[in-house]
A and B are shown apart, each in its own frame.
Chain A
Amino acid sequence: EAGVAQSPRYKIIEKRQSVAFWCNPISGHATLYWYQQILGQGPKLLIQFQNNGVVDDSQLPKDRFSAERLKGVDSTLKIQPAKLEDSAVYLCASSAGTGGPNTEAFFGQGTRLTVV
């Protein structure tokens, strides 16, 4: 079974530039998550999709971050304009979405963003 695919793996940009990340979840997984993980911290949920609808985006800085999930499959996360404090690993995860104790969230390898 193919896992969660993310690209790019690494990105270095200057502050005030824009950047986009792409995620392809495991086939058939209804729920897709984007997390931001700053060095030394746990993953912080930015946005959660159920199919192509947003379930939770309460921690997404909407003045600069946006995300979409077209046709309930692939998703993109965009930052515009980037700030130094956006330097982090951006993790995409997917799950079958039933929420029970046997529902595992599978993670992609992440995109490591450095803003200089």
Chain B
Amino acid sequence: RKEVEQDPGPFNVPEGATVAFNCTYSNSASQSFFWYRQDCRKEPKLLMSVYSSGNEDGRFTAQLNRASQYISLLIRDSKLSDSATYLCVVSTSGTYKYIFGTGTRLKVLA
């Protein structure tokens, strides 16, 4: 079983739609969680960290469920510019090791 798993998609959604991605992780000692965004042929960039209580940044909401070992990302009112691959990242306690999921491709359609 992979350490971090994501549905690869692609998710094709119309502009204005709400879309949600899930990510599961296998190591219960995981401590820090992130969502990165990667545009085509570009490097990954941090979208948002995921806090235990959940957090929101504009149209983006991240949630963490430690009991079930998954994190989620919700995008509301999708824009064309949201089209990208969204990578789930998990860091294990004490090692500062960042493990990436496969990524979920999102395409927002006009």
Closest residue to B6 on the A side, CB-wise?
A: A42
Question: Is A101 touching B50 in the complex (CB atoms < 8 A)?
Answer: yes
**Do A31 and B50 touch across chains, with their CB atoms under 8 A apart?**
no
Interface residues in B44-74 (C-beta closer than 8 Å to A): 44-46, 49-51
Q: How large is the interface on A (under 10, 10 to 19, 20 to 34, 35 or more residues)?
A: 20 to 34
Tell me if B22 is interfacial: C-beta within 8 Å of chain A. Answer: no
- Residue in contact with B43 in the complex, picked from A44, A50, A102, A109, CB distance below 8 Å: A109
Query: Are A93's CB and B100's CB within 8 A?
Result: no
Q: How large is the interface on B (under 10, 10 to 19, 20 to 34, 35 or more residues)?
A: 20 to 34
Give the distance in Å from the alpha carbon of A50 to the alpha carbon of B8 in the complex. Answer: 31
Knowing A99-B91, A101-B50 are in contact, say whether A107-B98 is a contact too (CB < 8 A). no
Chain A residues with CB under 8 A of B87: 42-43
A58: nearest chain-B partner, CB-CB:
B97
A48-B43 contact in complex given A42-B103, A101-B32, C-beta closer than 8 Å: no
Q: Nearest CB to that of B92 among chain A residues?
A: A99
The CA-CA distance from A93 to B87 in the complex, in Å, is: 15
Contacts of B33 in A (CB 8 A): 101
B-binding residues in A (CB < 8 A): 31, 33, 35, 40-45, 48, 50, 55-56, 91, 93, 95, 97-105, 107-110
